[in-house]
Structure 1
Amino acid sequence: MASPVVEAALKCSVCWEIYKDPVTLLCGHNFCQNCIKKTWDHQEERESSCPECMHRYKNRPELKTNTRLRDIAEEIQAEEQKSGISCTYCVDTPTPAVRSCLKCESSFCDKHLKVHSKSPEHVLTQPTSDWQNRECSLHNQTLEYYCVEDSSCICKSCMTEIKHRGHTIQTLSQASMEKKDKYKLILMKLINQKKEMEKRIHGLKKHEGKLQEKADGITEWVASLFRTFRRQIEDLERRVLAEISKELISSSGLINQLEKKYEELSKKIHHIEELRSIPDPLAVIRELDRGDFCDNDEEGDNEDGAEDDEHIHGAGDLDNILISLNICKELSDIVSNAMKYLSVAEDSDVCLDDSSAAANVEVSGDLKVATGVEFLETKQQTLQTFESNQVLSSTAFDRGRHYWEVDIMGSNNFRIGMCYATIDRKGRSSVIGNTGDSWCLVRTVGKFSFRHLNHSIGLHNESSIRRLGIYLDYEAGRLSFYELCDPSHHLHTFTTAFTQPLHAVFRVGSGVQVKIRNERIFADRKK
């Protein structure tokens, strides 16, 4: 006997029997030849369609027998006929049954099957001898009906009982057809979901290919940068070590010179001592007349010795101070040069425009801090002043790449972003993120999102963002936000075509303080 999985795969999805004369459609699905013909004959549509995937054919395709599937199906049927189920009516000579009737609870060979009743209530299945599961446990009668309210199969006697009175009763065939119709709707839904999933997978694979191509380019670019940085650092190391070696060589040369002088002095001293031991005065005098045994410039020798001592004793200070200063300077130059190769703009000096600040926004004297406060009665109102807690920057950007960072203090609501100077100063349209002329990060009730044209994109971040980096590439139409933590990471990028100069804009709730930083966060980490 075949396994249930194999047997299910060999059953036609129309009759749910093992294939007879299986044919294959152009879409790849298989059916019994008679099943697909009857299905198409009953279809109301002009175009024939596959019962399984609903693929439509303008012209009914030619049905070609799937010989391999037919051979497998016949082999399975042959194995089932050998399973011991014989024709009920072949008493003298047991003959393998090919079908069983659920109503008659009998099995038939090919010969007796031809004379069996063809009425609908006589349902034929694969040969079986398991009739107990098809009988009512209360009345020992065949289960022929289905109670819709109780969702149970019943016999004729069950229909007369009180618990089924007034209920909708169907024949098993009717109930089965309705269930098949439901399965058909579910199948269509699943097929549509499958098609959508195929589109998504195709789109993601296409995106993955582009991403891989971009990643390969960036990988090579980064590797090239670090090779350059490593070469520069290695050159710096060699230069520093060469300077140290040079000092050592200089010191060694000076020692050699002094040692030679020391040997010469020793020889002269020894010779003079020998002369002093000569008893003949004339010999001593004549020896002195032939040459000098010591330098006349004694003061010069003392000065040279003092300079040598200074050189030797100054070597210790060079290791601790001068070398460190030189290394720091060279590394700083390497970092500065590295910034030219990276897609990071120089820090932009962003200052607040106090004349645009609402009456409940206090701006610091250096124009770098905006704080949400109670209403300031002394605040002078102008046409450029916001009605509620917002303030613009006086700095405007209409070209190039720019970058700045802000510190956020306080746990209440705030919005940080950019907008055009033409943004309204009053009403709902003045709130950044609500219209098409502003883009911002929003914090409300502990939730973070990005907002533009009153459309929100949620941010899966329940933590509190304390430092924010903002990067603007005006020509590329990119406005990016980064959380500056350890490690820093990208939050969101708006992509559009900017048509007007952009201003930084801050909306601060009561107790919230936003500070524009004067230097990047990595500058703090170097200290």
Structure 2
Amino acid sequence: MARRIEDDLKCPACLEIFNDPVVLPCSHSFCRVCVQHWWEQKEDQTCPVCRTKCSLINVPSNLVLKNVCENLSQASVELNHMCSLHEEKLKLFCLDHQELVCLICRDAELHAGHKFRPVDEAVKGRKEKLQEALLDAKQRLNDYNEVKDNCKDQAAYIKVQRKQVESKIQKDFKWLHRFLQDDKVARLFAVMEDEQKKTRMMKEKIEALDRDLAALSDVITITEEELTSDPVSFMKNFHTAMTRIQELPDKPEQLPGALLDEAKHVGNLKINVCERMKKEFSYSPVILDPNTADPELRLSEELTSLSCREGQERPKNPERLDCNVVLGSALASGTHTWDVEVGDNTDWGVGMAWGDPCLPDTMLQWSIAFRDEKYRKFADPLGSWNPPVKLQRIQIYVDSNERSVLFSESLTNTQLCKKNPPAWPHLSGNMKLFPYFWTYDEIPLQIIPLARRVTTQSQR
């Protein structure tokens, strides 16, 4: 098989037509980039073919080979612009077959009745389409870079979250350990006191018994001596002896309640500790979700209050909301009640939202709000509303079975308004209900805690 001239113009390293060819002292030629890459990889400046050492710092270009390669490339381009059937220049574009053709092809039977456009005109329209597609591709590239940057921010923030959560857990368990340690010491001290009291009682009882035993022993000894005395002495001392022995103390009784009350000290110990512990903490019916909070908001460590003060660094995760909004944890089916202390806050909104948390812009909400010294309710951001009382503590009652949301003023026990939203969601998949809050005020909105109830039943 005849060797083509193109084969002699290919770099031995990359097997492509020479690009900026250089010639080594051993007369072998390579692309400049290929030989540089070879030397960097091998850390040895030798010829890739014959391994001859090359001491040149700047390897000269092979100008003859470069010119031949450029001429060959140009010839290939010109050949590519020719019709393979008629060896004529491709000057037209067939709209029906969507292909380049020459003038002879236009008149051929294969293209009879077809529509044609000059190549330059066809190129213009397609360049415009390609430019539009390129703009979309660049926008997509920007989108990818933005998502990648957000992912990096979230990866870094995860470590911050871990430290925050660990700190909170450590703090809470330190409190629990201290509480349990104090309670243990108090209970052990109570056992010791009980033991000392009962031991003292038994000691006093034993001492009293010892005294009675000594007296009884003396009576018995004297009486036995009377029985062995002569008849005259016996008769003279009989009444005295009988009186002495008849005045003996009654039969001693066992001391009741002498032992430790084990049932009192260890019975239902764990639940009794919980009963005491419940007075030391409260339960929040709603926990704020920091992953939904606008970065302008500051949430309390317990995630039960929010304020627009010294915002916290947060990444742009999909669930993140704006407009100083934060959601509570998702609500299950059934009824839910929570109270929010608004106090002197002058820019707030509380209520219920629903939708897909990963699509926060599509979520709907029913709430009451106070802004610009006007109260507003439900989905009327511009209208005003006059509640019957000044709002200090708002109670929100959600009944997913009845599909209703009810607002009341807790401190005055005044019902404010009730709504049955027509677009009540079907809770499935990502469609969920959430407690809804926002504020632009530094004064916190506080979720009111509930006393945690632990019911115990005494056993007889």
- Aligning the two structures, in what range does the TM-score lie when normalised by the shorter sequence? 0.3 to 0.5
Query: Which gives a bigger RCO, structure 1 or 2 (Cα 8 Å, sep 6+)?
Result: 2
TM-score normalised by length of structure 2: 0.43
TM-score normalised by length of structure 1: 0.39
